[in-house]
Amino acid sequence: MNHLSRHKIGIFDSGLGGLSVLRTIWKEISNIDFIYFADLNHAPYGRRSKKEVLTLSTQAFEFLLEKNCHAVVFACNTATSAAARFLRENHQIPIFGMEPAVKPAVLENPIETISVFATELTLREEKFHNLVSSLPTENEVLTVPCEGLAKLIDEDEWDLAWDLLNQKIRSVYPRSKVFVLGCTHYVFLKERILYNYPDVKIYDGNLGTANHIKKVLCLENCSDSQNQLDILLNTSNSHYVHLANRITKTITPNFTLSLTNTQVGNLHVQSN
């Protein structure tokens, strides 16, 4: 599909977890204009019904289409579960999604007990159950719903987020030492997990998604990054803004962060 001199790729999440996906993609491909949209006014999605998530995801997708994106990444497992299939059936542009990295965890750890940490909606959706049942495995797969964790991360309450996640880990450890992080927010706590539980293996879907995007769009490996980045947040909450700045600076020092409302346009623009 690489007939364009420069791709514009939209990345969408209910919050800031998708920045963990962007960070991985950024390292893999170059010469891309990225637009990252966080629907923080309606976050977190994990506690909402599938119908609500489908509506919100469709609105976010259409917002990115208005920005002339050539492809859209649902950097949110919950939104992928609820909306990606529907939108693919109704639109021609490439739509990439996330799914818990259960397959590599199972294939690389035969007969081990696998723990999947994710939102309740992701874990109860047919998409997840089909993924698990499709694997020829003797592994026991434990589902660990982590309601409230993504919101704590978005609100920059990472110590409280760790306390909550650590409680969840203790409910399965040491019975299980293979963890799948089924929400892009949780990836920000990956190093803390490994520091406190050095004998576990952790899987997430970020690199697999990045490689899939690279393959489908026929993009070259990143050698000298010429990427550009616009961050759009539909909130003026200072906690979200400061955290978005801090995380994004670990990806690139050069970006534009805008506070926007999808109905009435930009409210404020802050450049870095």
51: Cβ contacts below 8 Å, ≥ 6 apart: none
Report pLDDT for 4: 60
pLDDT in tens, 105-133: 999 999 999 999 999 999 999 999 999 99
**Backbone phi and psi for residue 53, each to the nearest 5 degrees, phi listed first:** -65, -40
Residues known to be catalytic = 76, 183
pLDDT at 3 over 70: no
Q: How confident is the model at residue 272 (pLDDT cuts 50, 70, 90)?
A: very low
Return the pLDDT at 262. 56
Total-model pTM: 0.92
Q: How many residues does the chain have?
A: 272
What would the pLDDT profile of 38-94 be if each residue is shown by its tens digit? 999 998 898 899 999 999 999 999 999 999 999 999 999 999 999 999 999 999 999
What local confidence, expressed as pLDDT, does residue 137 receive? 76
DSSP string of 169-230?
A: HHTTTTT--EEEE-SGGGGGGHHHHHHH-TT-EEE-SHHHHHHHHHHHTTPPBPSS---EEE
The pLDDT assigned to 6 comes to 82
Question: What is the average pLDDT score of the chain?
Answer: 91
Q: pLDDT > 70: what percent of the chain? A: 92
18: closest CA among 171, 161, 111, 153?
A: 153
pLDDT band at 102 (very low <50, low <70, confident <90, very high): very high
3-state SS class at 8: strand
Query: What's the mean pLDDT in 174-186?
Result: 97
Banded model confidence at residue 261, pLDDT cuts 50, 70, 90:
confident
For range 227-241, the mean pLDDT: 92
The pLDDT score that the predictor gives to residue 46 is: 86
pLDDT of 224: 60
Are 272 and 249 spatial neighbours (Cβ–Cβ below 8 Å)?
yes
Which string of DSSP letters, residue by residue, matches 72-130? EEE--HHHIIIIIHHHHHH--S-EE-----HHHHHHHSTT--EEEEE-HHHHHSHHHHH
